């Protein structure tokens, strides 16, 4: 191979890697619609942009409610499938799983790009997207995912999941060269579930710049909103 041909090959690989890393964000901007049938916007959720661009093998999202994390997980699910990777998406219970998949089905119906890429296999448990398998499982039983090899495991609301069965989920990645894991949840108990997983991560936090003094800091309810004046007694700071 000539020096020029080798450089072209390297440039192509770099461009393809960049395209794949931007695929999740491209889904959010170009294709995805929320549950209300509206395009996603980051105007009031700028913190999501960094998460959409993140492409580490293991991602832990310790979140509040209604912050857009589920839409991110759906975009990640479809983007990984388009890359040719198989995905297991785990939710705490069957009832929640069923509601979640029906929600996704509505989005698929509304988005032409999704409809074009959905295969013949399309149920509450198993979908084929861009030729890749997506399994929607419940943590109530390990049988939903113990026989299915995967490249990506997404665990949504891990704090509410059956922790014994969830511990088996990473085994599904043994044969994969990717071994991507995503864990998402609103925290419930300290040093448990998502809080424990977050503490084992690089513990990145979203920082806000104060418009008055310019200080950059992560917002904390007990630091920025209220203060403890006596045992279990609080008052507003301002």
The set of residues, in sequence order, having a beta carbon less than 8 Å from that of 69 and lying 6+ positions away, is: 51, 61, 63, 184
User: CA separation (Å) from 172 to 139, 166, 178, 179?
Assistant: 14, 11, 12, 9
What is residue 75's three-state secondary structure?
Answer: helix
Query: What was the pLDDT predicted at 237?
Result: 86
Q: What percent of the chain has pLDDT over 70?
A: 91
Query: What was the pLDDT predicted at 34?
Result: 86
**CA separation for the pair 7, 13 (Å, rounded):** 10
Confidence of residue 12 (pLDDT cuts 50, 70, 90): very low
- Contact indicator for 24, 74 with CB cutoff of 8 Å: no
| CA-closest candidate to residue 193, choices 151, 162, 169, 220 | 162
**pLDDT tens digits for range 219-232:** 888 888 898 888 88
Q: What percent of the chain has pLDDT over 90?
A: 63
Confidence of residue 196 (pLDDT cuts 50, 70, 90): very high
Q: What is the value of pTM for the model shown?
A: 0.87
Query: What was the pLDDT predicted at 7?
Result: 54
- Report which DSSP code applies to 170: G
**pLDDT tens digits for range 120-177:** 888 999 999 999 999 999 999 888 877 789 999 999 999 999 999 999 999 999 999 9
**pLDDT tens digits for range 50-67:** 999 888 899 999 999 889
């Amino acid at each position: 191979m000539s020096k020029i041909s080798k450089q072209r090959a390297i440039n192509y690989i770099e461009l393809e890697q960049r395209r794949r890393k931007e695929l999740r964000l491209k889904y959010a901007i170009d294709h995805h619609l929320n549950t209300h049938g509206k395009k996603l916007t980051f105007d009031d959720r700028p913190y999501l942009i960094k998460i959409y661009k993140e492409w580490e093998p293991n991602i832990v999202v310790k979140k509040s409610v209604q912050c857009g994390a589920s839409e991110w997980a759906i975009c990640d699910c479809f983007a990984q499938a388009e890359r040719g990777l198989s995905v297991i998406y785990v939710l705490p219970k069957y009832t929640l799983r069923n509601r979640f998949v029906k929600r996704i089905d509505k989005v698929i119906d509304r988005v032409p790009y999704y409809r074009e890429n959905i295969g013949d296999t399309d149920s509450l448990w198993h979908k084929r997207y861009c030729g890749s398998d997506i399994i929607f499982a419940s943590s109530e039983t390990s049988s939903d995912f113990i026989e299915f090899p995967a490249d990506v495991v997404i665990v949504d609301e891990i704090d509410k999941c059956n922790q014994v069965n969830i511990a088996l989920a990473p085994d599904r990645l043994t044969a994969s060269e990717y071994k991507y894991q995503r864990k998402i949840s609103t925290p419930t108990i300290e040093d448990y579930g998502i809080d424990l997983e977050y503490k084992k991560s690089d513990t990145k936090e979203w920082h806000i710049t104060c418009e008055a003094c310019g200080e950059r800091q992560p917002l904390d309810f007990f630091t920025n909103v209220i203060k403890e004046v006596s045992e279990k007694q609080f008052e507003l700071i301002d």
